[in-house]
Amino acid sequence: MKILICPDSFKDALPAAAAARAIACGIRRLGEAIEPIECPLADGGEGSLDALLAATGAERRTATVQDALGRPARADWGWLPERRTAFVELAEASGIQALAPAERTALHSTTHGVGELIRAALDAGAERLLLTLGGSATNDGGAGMLAALGARLLDGNGGDLPPGGAALAELAELDLSGLDPRLADLRVEAAVDVDNPLLGARGASAVFGPQKGATPEEVARLDAALARFADVTAAALGEEHRELPGAGAAGGMGFAARAFLGAELRPGIELIMAQAGFEALLAEADLVITGEGQLDGQSLAGKTPIGVARAAHARGVPVAVLAGRLAPGWQAAYAEGVTAAFALADGPMGLEEALARCAELLADRAESTLRLFTAAGS
C-alpha cells in the first residue's frame, strides 16, 4: 500500500519536509507492507522555496540583499541548471517573519531585495523564473523590486522616490529605460495564494495592510498611493492590471509581476504540485495524507490541503488532513475532496507544548489514521 504524504509547513513548529518525515515515521509503525512517499508542498507562502528544493533537487544559493527595511540580509534562492529555472521566494528577502512586531511598517517596507534575487537569477543564466509571493512584510506594489532591476520611480521634481508604499503617492513618472533588458526573455510564473485585486475593500492595503502594521488611516493612505502607482503604470504601459485576481498578493507584488515581468499568476499550490510531479505520484497512491497548522473556512482560498484534496478527489483517492487546529468553517473542506480531518492535540495543551510536540503528534495521528483506513478496507 502506497501512502502519499504531502503536508505544508506547520508554522513556528516544522517545515514541510520535517512534517512529511514525522508523518512517514508514524506510518512505518504499521510494518513494511506500507510504503510512505514523501512529497512536501507549499502554497506560495513562507516555506515555498524549501518545498521546491525538496521536490526538484535544485541547488540552494544565497545572495546578500536588502531586507524589507533596507538592511543587509542573506537570502536563499533556488537554481535548477538543467532547466535554466530559478526559484525565488519573496519572503526570503522581504518577509514579515524576519521583522519583530515593532519593526513592521506597511508604509515604508520595500521589495528591493526581491529584485536583487531576480537579478542574481538572471546573472546565473535563468530563462524561467518561478516567483512565490506569500509572507510579505511589504505594501509597495513591487516598486522596490522595479528599482532593484533598473527602473526609476520619479516625483514631480524628477527625483527618485524613497522606498515604501506610502511614497508612491508622489509618483509622477516611471522611467523604464534602465530596466534590465534580460527580463524580456525571462518566462515568469508567479505563485499566489490569494485572489485579491490591487485596490479597494478587498485590495492589498485593506486586507493585508493591518497585519503589516498599518492603522486604518494608513490603510487609506496606502490604497490611494497604490492607486496612483496603478494610474502611472497604465499610462506608461498602455495596459490595465489593477483588477486582476491576485494583483493584491504580497502588498501588490502580483500587480508588478504581471505588469512589468509579464508573469502568469497561478495558484501557488498548483504551481508547486506541478514542480513536484504530484500527479504522477498521486496515480500510484492508495491514500493521501496532507496537513498544515490550521484548517478553516479560509483554507478553500488556495491553501495546500484543499489543493491536494481537489486533485486527489478527481482521481478518486481518499484524503486525510492532519491539522494543528480545526478552526471555524473547516467542515467546508469535505465538499472539496477531504475524506477526514483530525486535530493533532491528544489532550488539553498550550501553544508552546503543541509546537514542541508537533512531530510526535503528527506521527501518532498518522498512525491512527492509517490504522482506521486499513481496518475500513479489510
Digit-coded pLDDT (tens) for 6-52: 999 998 899 899 999 999 999 999 998 999 999 999 988 888 999 89
Residues 28 and 57 placed together within one structural domain of the fold = no
Digit-coded pLDDT (tens) for 328-373: 999 999 999 999 999 999 899 899 999 999 999 999 999 999 999 9
Residues 240 and 311 placed together within one structural domain of the fold = no
Residues 283 and 257 placed together within one structural domain of the fold = no
For 189-193, 297-301, 362-366, which range has the lowest pLDDT when averaged over its residues? 297-301
Q: What CATH number is given to the structural domain containing 354? A: 3.40.50.10350
pLDDT surpasses 70 at 295: yes
Last residue of a domain, one of 247, 269, 291: 269
Residues 144 and 94 placed together within one structural domain of the fold = yes
Residues 293 and 317 placed together within one structural domain of the fold = yes
Instruction: Identify the domain containing residue 193 by its residue range.
Output: 48-269
Residues 234 and 121 placed together within one structural domain of the fold = yes
Q: What CATH number is given to the structural domain containing 116? A: 3.90.1510.10
Tell me the three cell numbers of residue 117. Answer: 534575487
Q: CA–CA separation, 183 vs 336, rounded Å?
A: 38
Residues 284 and 209 placed together within one structural domain of the fold = no
Q: Which amino acid is at 1?
A: M
C-alpha closest to that of 123 among 47, 65, 202, 164: 65
Residues 282 and 139 placed together within one structural domain of the fold = no
pLDDT surpasses 80 at 302: no
Q: Mean pLDDT throughout 286-303?
A: 89
Residues 211 and 155 placed together within one structural domain of the fold = yes
Residues 217 and 325 placed together within one structural domain of the fold = no
pTM of the complete model beyond 0.95: no
Q: What pLDDT, on the 0 to 100 scale, is given for residue 280?
A: 96
Last residue of a domain, one of 269, 297, 318: 269
Mean pLDDT of the chain: 95
Residues 84 and 134 placed together within one structural domain of the fold = yes
Number of domain units in the chain: 2
Residues 232 and 257 placed together within one structural domain of the fold = yes
Q: What pLDDT, on the 0 to 100 scale, is given for residue 378?
A: 55
Last residue of a domain, one of 209, 234, 269: 269
Q: Are the CB atoms for 314 and 344 separated by under 8 Å?
A: no
Digit-coded pLDDT (tens) for 83-113: 999 999 999 999 998 999 899 999 999 999 9
